[in-house]
Structure 1
Amino acid sequence: MKTLNLYEAKTHLSSLVDEAEAGAEIVISKNGKPKAKLVPFEPPAPKQPRKPAGVLGVVWIADDFDEPDPELIALFEGDHEDGEEQ
């Protein structure tokens, strides 16, 4: 593992990024104390669709599960079928 002070790292950042991309790990220190590590970037794994756990016997989730419910919104906003507020 390569260790550089902050000034050297600023001066050679572009080449250090190339080294990290190739698999190297570089420690950047300030006043002799390690402060950061430059490592290769690993893209996050793609998100998988949600699957029900089956704990409550749920084996299917509707496509619109997360969509707002107009009836529930009407209750919160005070809209009633009879046109009067309570």
Structure 2
Amino acid sequence: MTTVNMHEAKTHLSRLVDAAAAGEVITIAKAGRPVAKITRIDAPQAQRRLGFLAGHARIPEDFDEMGAAEIAALFGDGD
């Protein structure tokens, strides 16, 4: 594990990130005290797939109006 001071980390950030990507753990210190750690992210987060259920579900034409009377009654129906 490598420890670098804040100034060196700012100056050589790209090099430090490359080292972290290669598996090295870098600790950043401020005034000699460790304050942060740069490590590799092991697995990228899965991308959300939009539209993967296309054609498998049906939304009714009156979807926006469904339950309108019940909702209006819950909120006093404007009376």
Both proteins in one fold, TM over 0.5: yes
SS of structure 1 residue aligned to 2:29 = strand
CA drift of 1:85 comes to: 6.1
Q: Deviations over 1:27-85 (max 9, x none)?
A: 001111111100012312567xxxxxxxxxxxxxxx57xxx77423x142x28xxxx86
CA distance in 2, matches of 1:38, 1:3: 10
- What RMSD in Å do the two structures reach over aligned CA positions? 3.1
Ranked by relative contact order (alpha carbons within 8 Å, sequence separation 6 or more), the top structure is 2
CA distance in 1, matches of 2:78, 2:35: 61
Aligned to 1:25: 25
The one-letter amino acid paired with 2:45 is: P
CA drift of 1:16 comes to: 0.5
Of 66, 74, 77 in structure 2, the residue corresponding to residue 71 of structure 1 is: 66
Aligned residues: 65
TM-score (ref. length: structure 2): 0.61
Q: Identity across aligned pairs (percent)?
A: 44
Aligned to 1:9: 9
Q: Which protein is richer in helix relative to its size?
A: 2
TM-score (ref. length: structure 1): 0.57
Aligned to 1:44: 45
Task: Specify every segment of 5 or more residues in structure 2 that has no aligned partner in the other structure, as ranges.
Answer: 49-56
Task: Specify every segment of 5 or more residues in structure 1 that has no aligned partner in the other structure, as ranges.
Answer: 48-62
